[in-house]
Structure 1
Amino acid sequence: MSEKKKKISFLGRIIFFLNSVFAALLLLSYILPYAVPKSFPILSVLSLLVPVFIVINFCFMAFWILNVRKHFLLSLFVLILGYSHVTSLYKFSGNTTEPSQNAISVMSYNVRLFNIYDWIKEDHIDKKIVDLIRSESPDIIALQEFHRNQEAAFSFYPYKYVALKSKNEKTGQAIFSKFPILHKGSVEFPNTPNNAIYIDILRNNDTIRVYNLHLQSLRINPQKEEFSQKNSERLLKRMANTFKMQQSQVELFEINRTKCHYKKIILGDFNNTQFSNVYKTIKGNMKDAFVESGKGFGKTLDYPFFPMRIDFILADESFTVNTFHTFSEHYSDHFAIKSVISLD
């Protein structure tokens, strides 16, 4: 064997070893939704990297195909095995259907206090957010990180539920509706401004509960975080603690949800991905509007390193998801999402 062939063979072994490592990590990620954060906090942190593992395995597969090597079968097998993971990350085309007369358009948006602290260096962000919602005119809009200074700006909605953490607080969650609100309430989470609020509406002869859920924030700022070994360890520990808090919050949410026998729609910022135990628990048998009718990566967080989908619209199985759209307007660190959902 020539020296050149030996070098190529040695390089090929190294590449295949790395391929095997990332294939194993992707396989491991398939069990992450079953890993309870309180028991396996580090595994929960690993769930954030699932999009990276999927993309890297696609790259390895393409590399081996271009080099006409059967090694591509490893990543291909792992990707096929996790088909549901792959399709929840990227949708090649959005399946749209005609809404029924009972259709409801819903929208969810973490508005980041309407840019009150000028995180985005652009004028009139608060007005642009309101104008976007007014132009889209969803029947129901759920807003996370709402600031009460903007309450009057949504006067074009006849019904509302604005829930602030306390009388002295100016921030909280809000739901604005075109339908009368029969009942409303809040699921309080301890030691945090996050919570879940809900309204019950009457749509024709059906009572529907709409949740606005905002789970504990990871508080990761890639522009400010220093990824040294010491700080990375501190960040990892902080994220693990956040996932534990999220699980406790989901448990409180589940207590409320199981007591409600109405049809349900869940809107909100889960601060976790579709590959997590938190998402698996909340979703249950519900339909994920992006998976049903979305297109592309469905990225909802302005995070530069890889696409993160942490904002969701979920609907009971008795609904049909007609359309789903992720907005590109950069008025927050989140992107708004909207869906049209019909009662079967």
Structure 2
Amino acid sequence: MKKLNLFDKGIYVINSIFACLLLVSYALPYVFPRSFPSVSVLSLLVPVLLIINAMFSLFWLIRLKKQVFMSVVVLLIGYNHLTNFYKFPRKQEALMESSLLSVMTYNVRLFNVYDWNPDKQLDDKMIAFIKDKSPDILAIQEFHKLQERKLDFYPFRYIGYKTDKNKIGQAIFSKYPILATGQLDFPKTGNNGIYADILVAKDTVRVYNMHLESLHVNPEEEELSQENSMRLIERIGNRFALQQTQMELFRRHWEGTNYKTIVCGDLNNTAFSNIYLKIKGKKLQDTFQEAGSGFGRTFNFPYFPFRIDFILPDTSFEVKTHEVYPLDYSDHFPVFSSLSLKVDK
């Protein structure tokens, strides 16, 4: 740093801090939230750290300084994180519609039943969008009982309410016959996971619809003073610990089936977390990684591209397309993917 002026030295120190934080974040998928809840919160900041380190790399590159290598090397070490964060567009191949299975996952925020948005027609707009895209299988999180009749264009459905008195639950709609259904029964929460065994051609496909523990963070309302920030980190960390319990319930349940599987849902966590890593494992694919492009943002957060909604088919499927529709109907965007079953040889 001898050849750097005082300003550059200050920038380099700040750069070093963010490079170290990004390096630490690479270990987060292997850190159990229940054991280190506050540390696990850093997984939410990985998109921010990637962007900041990329900006530092560009800064030093423009100035033709060798300090560029620090952030570049750190970014290259986390190459898998980069591909989880951004995908370059790939050439689209011609698709045979008859051989595809289309899947959509969508957190609809109760179809605006509590008027969080002043648009009184928002629920009808969401239903019209779903009808227009017409996915073969539709997984909805935060479904409200009032909308059951409006989705009667699907011949088969399973809506999981935690109790008979609940009006809020998760739902799976299908154009194919549903053979069996059930719930995962997440304890001490209104969130839940459900599943449906669906007969697709001659195959039975198990579809999970997961809505893991919500973070209950409104960036527009949170007061981020030092004291409140520490409370916020503690609160999010505790919710990540609950997500670990929910993830473990899912893993035990899934390991009991031999069916081809598609996992959909709002994980309320990023692709840089232990929760995502343990759910996906080695047997599931991420449709964004296989066929997505851009940042793949699924949560309507105004500052950074958070991807917390996923379609994860197992390796018996080939992922053909992945698309996110940036609609402002909910605080989440609908995610759509076209899959084809691989032919057994």
Specify the TM-score bucket, using the shorter chain as the normaliser.
Answer: over 0.9
Partner amino acid for 1:88?
N
Provide the TM-score with structure 2 as the length reference.
0.96
DSSP 3-state at the match of 1:259: coil
Match of 1:340 in 2: 338
Rounded to whole Å, the distance in 2 between the matches of 1:31 and 1:234 is: 24
Partner amino acid for 1:23?
A
Report whether the alignment pairs 1:34 with 2:54: no
Superposition map of 1:1-344 within 5 A:
9-94=5-90, 96-99=92-95, 101-285=98-282, 286-344=284-342
Partner amino acid for 2:135?
P
Partner amino acid for 2:170?
Q
Residue 202 and residue 50 in structure 1: after superposition, are their counterparts in 2 closer, same or farther (change >3 A)?
Answer: same
DSSP 3-state at the match of 2:5: helix
Shift of 1:193: 1.2
Rounded to whole Å, the distance in 2 between the matches of 1:232 and 1:65 is: 34
DSSP 3-state at the match of 1:58: helix
Q: Is the 8 A contact 1:102 1:203 kept in 2?
A: no
DSSP 3-state at the match of 2:19: helix
Shift of 1:102: 3.6
Shift of 1:201: 1.1
Rounded to whole Å, the distance in 2 between the matches of 1:135 and 1:269 is: 22
Residue 95 and residue 342 in structure 1: after superposition, are their counterparts in 2 closer, same or farther (change >3 A)?
Answer: farther
RMSD of the alignment, in Å? Answer: 1.3
Provide the TM-score with structure 1 as the length reference.
0.96
Rounded to whole Å, the distance in 1 between the matches of 2:336 and 2:91 is: 14
Shift of 1:14: 1.3
Rounded to whole Å, the distance in 2 between the matches of 1:61 and 1:305 is: 21
Partner amino acid for 1:190?
P
Shift of 1:223: 1.2
Partner amino acid for 1:319?
F
Rounded to whole Å, the distance in 2 between the matches of 1:90 and 1:16 is: 26
What whole-Å deviation, never above 9, does each CA across 1:250-300 have from its counterpart, x for those lacking one?
Answer: 111111100011110000000000000000000112110011111111111
Q: Which runs of 5+ in 1 are unaligned?
A: 1-5
Shift of 1:123: 2.6
Rounded to whole Å, the distance in 2 between the matches of 1:136 and 1:195 is: 26
Identity %: 51
Residue 185 and residue 97 in structure 1: after superposition, are their counterparts in 2 closer, same or farther (change >3 A)?
Answer: farther
Shift of 1:95: 5.2
Partner amino acid for 1:206?
D
Partner amino acid for 2:325?
F
Q: Is the 8 A contact 1:95 1:323 kept in 2?
A: no
